[in-house]
Amino acid sequence: MDTAQNLSIGRLLTPALVLFRPPERGRDALLNKLVERIASDKSVPADVLLGKIVERERKGIDTTLDTGLCLPHAYLRGIADSTAALAIVPDGIVNPKNPAVTVRAMLVLVSPDAPEGYKQHLKLLREVARLFQSDLIETLARARSVQEALDLIRRREADSGSAAGAGA
């Protein structure tokens, strides 16, 4: 398992795990696409992963931040390390739980369902909340490619000395 000190959103994301200007216009359709990307990358059943995320969200917790980032997340057995997938939606999608907040980015975060995974997950959630402020989301929405978006995220992390676990 990767140590918390080595974790960062920029390291978790690869071009295959980023949807750039996806055609999906609904929150659920976008979530399904991101779950499929993670499932393919980690060789886990997409339906099981989606079930874990939906189960958590049925508890009434809105995972959309006022910055325009939707952050569905869950723990999953059968993975060794945390993973993530990102969608950048410049035109935005409606957040059904709070229509006043337009979702311009969705980051699905999944961590191992184990004690070390819980620690990783909490550190990554803290890092995502700190990193994905409105200005970064606006900059990502103007990016011209997946690689440019990844470079923007990694540069922001480097500039801020960010890594989930730094100083923890």
Q: Nearest 5°: phi and psi at 126? A: -60, -45
Q: pLDDT tens track of the chain, all 168 residues?
A: 444 446 799 999 999 999 999 998 889 999 999 999 999 999 999 999 999 999 888 877 778 888 999 999 999 998 999 999 999 999 999 888 888 889 999 999 999 999 999 999 999 999 999 999 999 999 999 999 999 999 999 999 998 875 554 444
CA distance 32 to 68: 19
CATH class as words, domain 4-159: alpha beta
What pLDDT is attached to residue 103? Answer: 93
What pLDDT is attached to residue 7? Answer: 78
> Measured between alpha carbons, how far is residue 102 from residues 26, 70, 74 in Å?
12, 9, 22
What pLDDT is attached to residue 161? Answer: 72
What pLDDT is attached to residue 144? Answer: 96
User: How does strand 69-70 pair with strand 73-76?
Assistant: unpaired
CA distance 84 to 120: 12
What pLDDT is attached to residue 137? Answer: 96
Give the count of beta carbons closer than 10 Å to the beta carbon of residue 15.
11
Q: Nearest 5°: phi and psi at 99? A: -60, -15
- The dihedral through the CA atoms of 149, 153, 154, 156 has a sign that is positive
What pLDDT is attached to residue 52? Answer: 93
Query: What single DSSP character describes residue 29?
Result: H
| Burial classification of residue 156, based on how many CB atoms lie within 10 Å of its CB (0-12 exposed, 13-18 middle, 19 or more buried) | buried
What pLDDT is attached to residue 168? Answer: 40
What pLDDT is attached to residue 30? Answer: 95
What pLDDT is attached to residue 96? Answer: 80
What pLDDT is attached to residue 44? Answer: 93
